[in-house]
Every structure is written in structure tokens, then in C-alpha cells.
Structure 1
Amino acid sequence: MTNELVYAAYILIWPALTLGVLAVICSAVVRDVRKARQSDDDLI
């Protein structure tokens, strides 16, 4: 039973890590968009 809990935790941690990375990327993009709008510059 202990191995099953370890495997379940290992499998379930990846969506949480992925969500964290996605949140960091999205917040960086939003920050860059705001900065570009303030300086009247293109995002790309």
C-alpha cells in the first residue's frame, strides 16, 4: 500500500508543477504587455 501512495503522489505532483510553471509564464506575459502599453511600444 505504501508503494501505491508513493506512485499516486508522484503522478499527481506533475499537474501541480505544470500549473505553477504556466502561472509564472502567464504572469510574465501580462507584466510585459502592461509595460509595453505604458511605453507605447509593440509587444513583439
Structure 2
Amino acid sequence: MNSELVYGAYILIWPALTLGVLGVICWAVARDVRKAKSSDEDLL
């Protein structure tokens, strides 16, 4: 494999991983907000 291709793939994978982690965090917070609203509790 060409080293430029490997380096390019390595650099481009980080935004995808970051977006995935951000998505999981947002999904979990939204789930917690819905759960708190349904049970009349504060989020914090």
C-alpha cells in the first residue's frame, strides 16, 4: 500500500470516530431527558 493512502485514511478516520462518539453522547442525554420528564424528576 502507498504510505500516503495509509496516512490519509488514518487522518480521515478521526472525524468519523468523533462524530460517532458525539452521536452516542447526544442519544444518551436525549434518552435521560425523556426519562426524567416522564417521571417528573429533574435532569440534574
TM range (shorter): over 0.9
Q: Partners of 2:19 and 2:26 in 1: how far apart?
A: 10
The Cα of 1:36 is off from its aligned counterpart by 0.2
Give me the identity figure in percent.
77
Q: Unaligned 5+ residue runs, structure 2?
A: none
TM-score, normalising length: structure 2 = 0.97
Q: Between Structure 1 and Structure 2, how many residues are aligned? A: 44
Query: Aligned-pair RMSD on alpha carbons?
Result: 1.1
Q: Which consecutive residues of structure 1, in runs of 5 or more, have no partner in the other structure?
A: none
SS in 1 for 2:41: coil
Q: Which portions of structure 1, spanning 4 or more consecutive aligned residues, are displaced by more than 6 angstroms?
A: none
